[in-house]
Amino acid sequence: MTITTASPAYRPAARVTARMAALIGEIRTVADRGLAPDLTAYLVGERLAPHLGAEDLLTAEQREGDPDRYRQHIVHAEADGSFSVVALVWLPGQETAIHDHVSWCVAGVHQGQESERRYRLAPGAGTAARLVATEEVVNGQGEVCGFAPPGDIHKVHNSCGSTAISIHVYGADIARLGSSVRRVYALPAD
């Protein structure tokens, strides 16, 4: 099994909109409760969903993509490190590697459509492990999903013919860590 650590380039945002500031306050209220990671992700997803698709959620800069790879904008990192909000901008065909995360995560599609393939790690013959695909999910604008490690191995890609934007909330200080990705998997996959 080959597992490598990833560190995609994050770009801090200069400011947040009034709507985003309100959403950050709602997320803070949930994060401050100190609940179990899976319950925190569920409750944060409930707060995120009503804001998805709103024109005044992101600044123009936070909607900018990159022709070479999906682009990640750090919108907010909580001072105590309890959560971060990231806007991911995907041009058609852009995708992640197969990976998992350092913390609970909530992802909501703000614009366009994203496809996700979920995996589980399965023992192979001898000591070789492999990834087994468990589910294919297509999320459109307004849809939210959340998860907490372990069991969060997946690959995400823009599955529409236009720019897709998603809002991700992580239970970690992404500005300090540099990435939400714990591991990138280079294993045989079904």
- pLDDT one-digit tens code per residue, 108-154: 999 999 999 998 888 876 667 888 899 999 999 999 998 888 778 88
Q: Are strands 10-12 and 105-111 parallel, antiparallel or unpaired?
A: unpaired
Parallel/antiparallel/unpaired status of strands 105-111 and 164-170: antiparallel
d(CA 126, CA 157): 32
CB within 8 A of 67, min separation 6: which ones?
Answer: 91
pLDDT band at residue 188, thresholds of 50, 70 and 90? Answer: low
- Distance separating alpha carbons of residues 116 and 135, to the nearest angstrom: 8
The pTM assigned to this predicted structure is 0.86
What is the residue type of 79?
A
